[in-house]
Amino acid sequence: MAQDQGELYVLLEKIQRGDQAALGIFYDATVRRVYAVAIKVTASPELAEEIVSDVFMQVWHNASSYSAERSTPLGWLLMMAHSRSIDSLRREGSATRNQMPLEEAYDAPDETTPGPLAATLGVEQHHELASALKLLDGQQRQMITLAFYRGLSHQEIANYTGEPLGTVKTTLRRAQSILRGALTATGFVQGGDYAKA
């Protein structure tokens, strides 16, 4: 099983040349991580399986779009998985109403599988972010999770939680302020907004 980034890069080069065997090896090496991202975002095994299929189809057809200067092979793959997962949730519309409680999902993370953010930022920064998120109360963490991990708009968060739109915006602003302060203190960000919902 090819887990090394260098091996994955070589496999991607072969896939770019139309090597189906390389795609099979690449799939075997990474499918669990792609599924982990999909199930974490959607909390739906059926959707996660569809997303896995879509992601590897995209790898096959769009391997030439991979750029080693922008990300690692795994980072590229997991970003695709995350993007496909968000798209799938939006297509499902009300699917989020049937998902597992967000706090429960967040408080029991899969520490062995790097999420797309961890793959992009690196392990040390990922742990700083996770620690900062723990400074938030339950409502703040839920809304940050909905906004940044599930890609919902302020209005969609209001619909999901039943809170007024103004409360959602205020809660997110407070949560962002707490995160920005914590992450600036650790050197993770240099002031400015942590993110914009």
Q: How many beta carbons lie within 10 A of that of residue 82, not counting itself?
A: 24
**Ranked by mean pLDDT, which of 27-31, 64-68, 125-129, 170-174 comes out on top?**
27-31
- Helices 5-16, 45-62: crossing angle, 10 deg rounding: 60
* Interatomic CA distance for residues 163 and 140, integer angstroms: 12
Tell me which fold the domain 1-101 belongs to.
Rna Polymerase Sigma Factor; Chain: A (1.10.1740)
CATH of 122-197, one of 3.10.20.30, 3.40.50.1820, 1.20.1260.10, 1.10.10.10: 1.10.10.10
3-state secondary structure the chain: CCCCHHHHHHHHHHHHCCCHHHHHHHHHHHHHHHHHHHHHHHCCHHHHHHHHHHHHHHHHHHHHHCCCCCCCHHHHHHHHHHHHHHHHHHHHCHHHHHCCCHHHHHHCCCCCCCCHHHHHHCHHHHHHHHHHHCCCCHHHHHHHHHHHHCCCCHHHHHHHHCCCHHHHHHHHHHHHHHHHHHHHHCCCCCCCCCCCC
Q: What is the pTM of this model?
A: 0.49
Q: Indicate the pLDDT class of residue 186, thresholds 50, 70 and 90.
A: low
User: Any idea where the domains of the chain sit in the sequence?
Assistant: 1-101, 122-197
Where is pLDDT greater, at 138 or 128?
A: 138
* Interatomic CA distance for residues 156 and 150, integer angstroms: 11
CA geometry: angle 73, 74, 76, nearest 5 deg: 65
**Mean pLDDT computed over 77-84:** 90
Confidence at residue 128, expressed as pLDDT on a 0 to 100 scale: 64
Q: Are 72 and 119 in contact (CB under 8 A)?
A: yes
pLDDT for 99 beyond 50: no
Confidence at residue 122, expressed as pLDDT on a 0 to 100 scale: 44
Confidence at residue 127, expressed as pLDDT on a 0 to 100 scale: 59
* Interatomic CA distance for residues 140 and 160, integer angstroms: 14
pLDDT for 113 beyond 90: no
